[in-house]
Structure 1
Amino acid sequence: NKMVMVKQLLTLRNYENIPFSSIGKGWLTLGGSTDLQKNLGYYAGDLSGITTKKLPLWFQPFYKPGKKIAKERDWNKKLEEIVEKAPEWDIGFIVGVPAWIQMCIEMIIKKYQLNNIHEMWPNLAFFVHGGVSFEPYKKGFEKLLGKPITYIETYLASEGFIAYQDRQHAKGMRLVTNEHIFLEFVPFNKQNFDSNSDMVQNPETLMIHEVEEGKEYALLISTNAGTWRYLIGDTIKFVDKTRCEIIITGRTKHFLSLVGEHLSVDNMNKAIQLAGEQLNICIPEFTVAGIPYQSFFAHHWYIACNEPVDPNALKQCIDENLKALNDDYAVERRSALKEVFVDVLSEQQFLDFMQLKGKVGGQHKFPRVLKDNMLKDWQEYLKAQMAHSK
């Protein structure tokens, strides 16, 4: 991981919009606690906390929020401490999961009554993000800026650093193929995955020279850390085979296909991004569930929006966008997928639910598709909230 991070830093010279002066400023990383839990013979903690704790010495002078705040386990307290210290720093770039970075910047702007974050950090030039697609967050995030910045995507998992964007205007992220990770690609289709999205006993596996652009693959990885043909759970698509550039299209378990609509997280992200642009609203969070409806089925969307919005208009936008993006969805909307429901909630409701589940912090993301126990817990949580508000 450390070696790939250094390689990614060296690729910053490929970005014409990043001034060299910004690289020498503060680097704000919003991650898990570096105060790791000591167990019998090993330490444990969030990946971002472990990575931050192992930063090379030459990185330390630039690193913010510093060792003391980085150790803090209470996520809300950590955010408050960062907001308190923010005026003392000159930040050139930020690293983290979009939702938490956005929240942190919103808190700084509110506390110091700024018009945008560049009034405090004029040298802020780029944002290194990962974990979730940035598309749904981009519109809301850009409202916090005084000038455009460069966005750089990474694919860093607990099992290894898998890919990163290495040049301006890249179609996707370049796979890391020479740092102790062996990659295999399983075509994501009904021959290799059953109706529950579980991989079959002996799936078809392809090597990197056998893949095709535009097709969906699940990743199998083997590493020198002991992972052996591990199904990492992400689905990817090659957008430039020559350069080994990929995009993440979703999770094997987060595809929604009740009746053959084959809705991917990539479809969902794009539909939400387009809906935000069409209605001129920010949608910082969303999730969707498949439910029984009139002897057939429906999709139930839960969407965070802190601005006034007509749920019916939002529903129509999402539905039409998905029909245009996904032929299977368009076909099923004329047959067994009878209806689409949309509930508009506040972003805080999503955050509070994650807190109830003990999943607060940069390592945790709200699932894009709710199923089984998680869906039941979410429905009960919303019912309790509705009863309380009455």
Structure 2
Amino acid sequence: MAIFGSIIKSIIDLKETLTPEGEAVKDQEEVLVGLLKKAKDTAFGKKYNFQEILDSENVRKTFSDNVPYFDYNKLDKEWWHKYHDGEENVTWPGKPPYFALSSGTTGKSSKRIPVTEEMVEAIRKAGIKQVSALSNFDLPPDFFEKEIMMLGSSTDLQKAGDHEEGEISGISASNIPFWFRGYYKPGEEIAKIDEWDDRVQKIAENAEQWDIGALSGIPSWMELMLKKVIEHHNLKNIHEIWPNLQVYASGGVAFEPYEKSFNALLGKPIQVIDTYLASEGFLAVQERPDTNAMRLITDNGIYFEFVPFKPDYINQDGSLTEDAPVVALEEVKEETDYVLLISTVSGAWRYLIGDTIKFTDVAKKEIRITGRTKFFLNVVGSQLSVNKMNDAVQELENEFDIRIPEFVVAAKRGEDGEYYHNWYLGCEDKVEDDAKLAEALDNALKNANKNYKVARGKALKGVKVTTIDPNMFHEWNAFNKKKGGQVKMEKVMNEEKFAKWEKFLNDQNTTS
């Protein structure tokens, strides 16, 4: 009998029972008022008259009417860069002790996103919510005695003047509470290794010493780590070395594209739980089984707004037009794509995080990540979002019985001067005919998206598919110095970036 595990499970069950489920809209009003009060005397708060907003009859509406939209480039250029010049009280009181480095998926250099002590605490509280939610899943008491493999970026943060820098997963892991350190793997020493490949090699070498019950990390990099462990120990699947593995907390991207290839590494089914930890904060967590949706965390230092995801409101660079309408939490509709805006205890205000989401259950405030604003392919009116692409690729997997964990697409002119959608599919299985894949992919997208079907009858001439080794996507990230951690593979490229991608592939073929 796992007595200690039973005690922990009982405490979690009791906490979940005693913690009342708040009213999300009321929670959000309180969060916004708290943010405005805290920041009203900052330079940003004075510029946008936070005190007047607080004194108004409708704080939420006055806030949205008086504070413009910001993406990273705008907020950094106008405000956040001042922190690096030694200024204080810029968009949040004092100076942030950390900056989260995030090159995202399309950026040429790292973004530096402020992380305050309040945000570190908010992420810790969200982590506790995640652990508490485990009481809703059918897990045995001894699960709560097993170790957790958290595969993030290096915890060896870099000192830069009066602050430290690193990816958000590294910042979070470097601040884990002392009582959790006995459960946390790969442990402090290995987690500090900066080079991704070296860190994963050390994990593989030490894997048999650990009794892993849960995994946490981005799917693409988690797959690579599991493959390395399996290869190093000459195993058939990961359960041969970690027989008690029962949970995988996925995060950052939709898990569905990786599901088939991920499951191929397992010896038995495990519970997949989605989480939404971004460089800007911990936004949502899956609280129950029988769904793949996550509940927004509405009472923990982040205020949410939503802009309908429509071509008229999105600029070419993925930013929002100034006249894009905003929708409040109580006004959202199910199965409608929205651009997500957040205001946070790190001094982000009406900030375009870059993700698109949809509500799968408005009453429960449950969402799914559907894509990125920059991953919206609309060069010739096709209006393809990433969730539509993911669905079509999954149809290919099922129809041809193959695994396609990665893909990238671009609209590109052919030699005939016409536009084609050029797809590279990272396929783990041998495919005899790429043309058949192209035809099936084209048909799946026509059936799923009427705008795409119209475009195919006019300006979009056709679809071209090339299957490649999925490792090429990881090597591309390495080539761009963006391997491991929070890095997500870009799904849509413009013609200029796509030309660099194809040159990279040609160079790889030449040297191989």
Same fold (TM over 0.5): yes
Cα deviation digits, residues 209-229 of structure 1 (max 9, x gap): 111112111111111221111
Cα deviation digits, residues 354-390 of structure 1 (max 9, x gap): 111111112111100012543232122123234445x
- Distance in 2 (CA, whole Å) between partners of 1:322 and 1:298 is 14
Hey, what does 1:218 align to over in structure 2?
339
- Aligned pair in 2 of structure 1 residues 171, 126: CA closer, same or farther (>3 Å)? closer
Amino acid at match of 1:126: V
Tell me if the contact between 2:382 and 2:452 (Cα under 8 Å) persists in the aligned partners. Answer: yes
**Equivalent residue of 1:253, what SS?**
helix
- 1:241-390 map, 5 Å: 241-293=362-414, 294-309=416-431, 310-388=433-511
Q: Which of the residues 136, 140, 152 maps onto 1:14?
A: 136
Cα deviation digits, residues 141-182 of structure 1 (max 9, x gap): 111111110100111111111111110012511111110111
- Distance in 2 (CA, whole Å) between partners of 1:274 and 1:261 is 19
- Higher alpha-carbon deviation: 219-228 or 3-12: 219-228
**1:199, CA displacement in angstroms?**
1.0
- Distance in 2 (CA, whole Å) between partners of 1:197 and 1:77 is 35
TM-score normalized by the length of structure 1: 0.96
- Aligned pair in 2 of structure 1 residues 171, 384: CA closer, same or farther (>3 Å)? closer
**1:195, CA displacement in angstroms?**
4.8
- 1:1-390 map, 5 Å: 1-16=123-138, 18-293=139-414, 294-309=416-431, 310-388=433-511
Which structure has greater helix proportion? 2
Amino acid at match of 2:460: L
Q: Percent identity?
A: 42
- Distance in 2 (CA, whole Å) between partners of 1:372 and 1:182 is 36
**Equivalent residue of 1:151, what SS?**
strand
Tell me if the contact between 1:117 and 1:144 (Cα under 8 Å) persists in the aligned partners. Answer: yes
Tell me if the contact between 1:171 and 1:239 (Cα under 8 Å) persists in the aligned partners. Answer: no
- Distance in 2 (CA, whole Å) between partners of 1:31 and 1:171 is 22
Amino acid at match of 2:473: F
**1:351, CA displacement in angstroms?**
1.6
The size of the alignment, in residue pairs, is 388
Cα deviation digits, residues 88-132 of structure 1 (max 9, x gap): 111000001111111111121122222211111111001001122
Tell me if the contact between 2:151 and 2:485 (Cα under 8 Å) persists in the aligned partners. Answer: yes
- Distance in 2 (CA, whole Å) between partners of 1:171 and 1:109 is 27
**Equivalent residue of 2:375, what SS?**
coil
- Distance in 2 (CA, whole Å) between partners of 1:107 and 1:68 is 19
- Distance in 1 (CA, whole Å) between partners of 2:237 and 2:509 is 35
- Distance in 2 (CA, whole Å) between partners of 1:19 and 1:263 is 43
- Larger Rg belongs to: 2
Amino acid at match of 2:132: L
- Distance in 1 (CA, whole Å) between partners of 2:144 and 2:454 is 49
Structure 1: which 5+ runs fail to align? none
Cα deviation digits, residues 67-100 of structure 1 (max 9, x gap): 0000000100000000000011110000011111
- Distance in 1 (CA, whole Å) between partners of 2:234 and 2:293 is 37
Tell me if the contact between 1:255 and 1:369 (Cα under 8 Å) persists in the aligned partners. Answer: yes
**Equivalent residue of 2:170, what SS?**
helix
**Equivalent residue of 1:330, what SS?**
helix
Structure 2: which 5+ runs fail to align? 1-122
- Aligned pair in 2 of structure 1 residues 190, 98: CA closer, same or farther (>3 Å)? closer
- Distance in 1 (CA, whole Å) between partners of 2:203 and 2:345 is 37
Tell me if the contact between 1:98 and 1:134 (Cα under 8 Å) persists in the aligned partners. Answer: yes
Tell me if the contact between 1:249 and 1:266 (Cα under 8 Å) persists in the aligned partners. Answer: yes
- Distance in 2 (CA, whole Å) between partners of 1:19 and 1:267 is 37
- Higher alpha-carbon deviation: 227-236 or 376-385: 376-385
